[in-house]
Structures are given as C-alpha cells and as structure tokens.
Amino acid sequence: MFRFLFSSIGQKIQIAFSGFALSVFLLFHLFNNLVLFTGQENFNSMVSFLKSVHLLVRILEFGLVGIILLHIVNAIYSTIRNKRANNGKYAVSADTAPRSSKTMIWSGLIILFFFVIHLRYYWYTFQLLDKDANFYDYMLLDKFGFLGHTPTAVIYIAAILLISTHLKHGFLSIFKTFGVPLKYREGILKYVALLFWAIIPAGFIIVILGIQFGIIN
C-alpha cells in the first residue's frame, strides 16, 4: 500500500485527489466572498458566525494545510522523478510533454506565493479582529494586500488567471492519465472541469472588480 502510494501512478492519484479537494474549497470560498454583494450586515454576520465556531474552522484549516502539503510535496517529487527519467537511459522525453504540463510546477509555485500574501493580509488580519469587528471594511481597504488597492487587485487578478490555467490543465490531464474515454472527456467531465477552471475564477474576478468599481462599497 505504502509502496503504491509513492509509485508514479500513486502520486498522480494523490495529486488528483488533493487538487480536487482544493478546488472544492475554492467553490465554498467563492460563495463566502459573493456574500459581499449582499451588503455589509450579511458579510459581517457570516464572518462572525465562523468565528463563533472557530474550533471547527481550525480543524478544517488543519485539514486544508495537510491537503495543500500533500499536493505540493507530491507535485515536486513527481516533477523531479520525471526529470530524472528524462536524463536517464530509459528517457521518456520531457519534450513530448505539452508546454503547460512543464510549466505546472512554476504556475504552482507562483500560486503558492500569492497564497502567502493572501493569508498574510486577509487571513491573519481576520485572526486579530474580534467577533464584532467590521470585517466588511477590511475587505475594501485601499492599502497593499487588500482589494481596495488597485495594484493589489491587479496582482490578484493575474494570480487568479494563473490558477485558472493551472486548474484547467490539472483537470484535463488527470482525466487523460486515468484513461477516461474521450467521449466522457468531451461530455459531462468537460463541463465539470469548466465549472472549476472557468466559472469559479470568473466569480473571484467579479468580486475583485465589484470592489474596485465601487459596486461593493
């Protein structure tokens, strides 16, 4: 079992499942952020409710960190393994891999950098605030790290577009890796993938534009 998990295919399965779990997190996260459109009161009560069940939130956050680590460690390990295979005598030429798959590790690392900035400003700031704070105002701050600040909004949009290409490639390549027949890949799975790589990122961008153009104010 242990050997299987760390075999080449075992690692792909781990990357696929952790990637999917992260995508589901993104869907929930988007719903939380869309509440901004319904006004200050609703957004503040939602965050305040999450603070009141903070033990549960902590457990989920630990789970999330575990899943992120699983995704990153397996992705890096699998990239190194592919590189070695390419340099070795049983070379499976990396040049035959699509360009986007070679850049997955780089887009992944840039996303990680975005993650650090995002958590430093939003997550950390929210940790310092008490249950009755006006969280909504912090969402709109015109200061580096917050979305009322135009350069920060531009960095966010760039990062989200990168996340979108990372997700698109991830979903489509994993279906191929597991040998899902083309007719299914062209059918329902294409639309499932579309939800994650197109609709969710578009939702985040709409929230950012909503803040920048004063629709959320």
**Chain residues that interact with ligand HEM, rule: CB under 6 A:** 26, 29, 33, 47, 50, 61, 64, 118-119, 122-123, 126, 147, 156, 160, 163, 204, 207-208
Minimum distance of ligand HEM from residue 182's CB (angstroms): 30
Determine the residue type at 26: L
Nearer to ligand HEM, 57 or 76 (CB): 57
Minimum distance of ligand HEM from residue 208's CB (angstroms): 5
b/e string for 91-112 if b means 16 or more Cβ within 10 A? eeeeeeeeeeeeebbebbeebe
Minimum distance of ligand HEM from residue 129's CB (angstroms): 9
CB 161 within 8 A of CB 153: no
Nearer to ligand HEM, 85 or 140 (CB): 140
**Which of 194, 193, 195 has its CA nearest to residue 180?**
193
Minimum distance of ligand HEM from residue 11's CB (angstroms): 22
What's phi and psi for 142, nearest 5 deg?
A: -95, 70
